[in-house]
Amino acid sequence: GVYVMIEQVDKAYLERNFGSGEGNLYKASFGFDTMWQGPNPELYQDIGAEKKTNEEENDWSDIVELLDILNNTPDDEFPDEIEGILNVDGFLSYLAANAVLSNMDSLVGDSCNFYLYNNPSTGLFELIPWDLNGAFGNHNVSHESGNGLTADEMIALDIEEPVTQGEEHLLIERVLAVDDYMDAYLDKVADLVAGEFSPTQMNASFDDMHGVIEEAVYADKYKEFSDEAFASSLTTDLPDSDDPGRVLGLKPFVADRNAAIADQLDESLER
């Protein structure tokens, strides 16, 4: 819920979720660069990722190995190689959730706001989400400048290619190019649409969390929006549905996005 927005990804978090906080943890900032630059680890310390554990050792060889596999492994060898370094099922779950939520402030959009953790318990990288305030189609929404996606494009985001066009998304592209992975990913998307992301379940969650924070929001003198905007954001686009740069209301977004995904899944089954 609300706590996930600000929860610190630190050793306590890693120990609680993965059983150990001793592995290498990297925080990806804007424009995480997956381009192959050769085997020298020193060349990868300015790729939009910050080492958050084991800083003194400054060993980036695991990141180099991951990028080597992404860039240089032939297609027929790729599944075996990537499964030896990445928790693929966990990655597909992350991807499905962010694609369904049209969260472009993440790997699927700006290649940012996630952590890579080399889990010593498994020897696999885990992808950890972080900073989720751009979810529900409300990150980098296009205005007159033409930057980003319009609100309607957020609603209609292609579930099979859930990325910002023109940007490099090598990890997503290579993983989803494997038929078995694409099938597993689409199954996860379908499960979300039928379950946790259904309007019935989401609307109940919205109402519950809205009630939890309502008093604190109204008491906050420094918030960047009005009380009226907060009250109406559950049910209404702001400023209105005729503005392509509008901020999407939560319940309308879920209903419209759910319907768009259902149509896309039907088309996928027909192919």
pLDDT tens readout for residues 24-48: 999 998 778 888 999 998 888 888 8
Which pLDDT score, from 0 to 100, does residue 140 have?
A: 63
Instruction: List, in sequence order, the alpha helices (H) in the chain.
Output: 11-18, 61-72, 78-83, 88-100, 151-155, 170-176, 179-194, 199-219, 227-232, 250-270
Other CB atoms within 10 Å distance of the CB of residue 148: 17
Which residue bears the tokens 């819920």?
1
Contacts (Cβ under 8 Å, ≥6 apart) of 212:
1, 2
Q: Are 100 and 197 in contact (CB under 8 A)?
A: yes
Which pLDDT score, from 0 to 100, does residue 143 have?
A: 47
| Residue 172 vs residues 88, 130, 169, 177: alpha-carbon distances, Å | 11, 18, 6, 8
Which pLDDT score, from 0 to 100, does residue 14 have?
A: 96
CA dihedral 90, 96, 99, 100 (to 10 degrees): -140
Question: Rounded distance, CA 86 to CA 83, Å?
Answer: 5
- Regions of the chain short of the pLDDT cut 50: 143-147
Read off the pTM: 0.91
pLDDT tens readout for residues 172-186: 999 999 999 999 999
Question: Rounded distance, CA 112 to CA 209, Å?
Answer: 26
Question: Rounded distance, CA 204 to CA 67, Å?
Answer: 41
Which pLDDT score, from 0 to 100, does residue 203 have?
A: 97
Instruction: Provide the residue ranges of all domains of the chain, joining segments of one domain with +.
Output: 2-194, 199-270
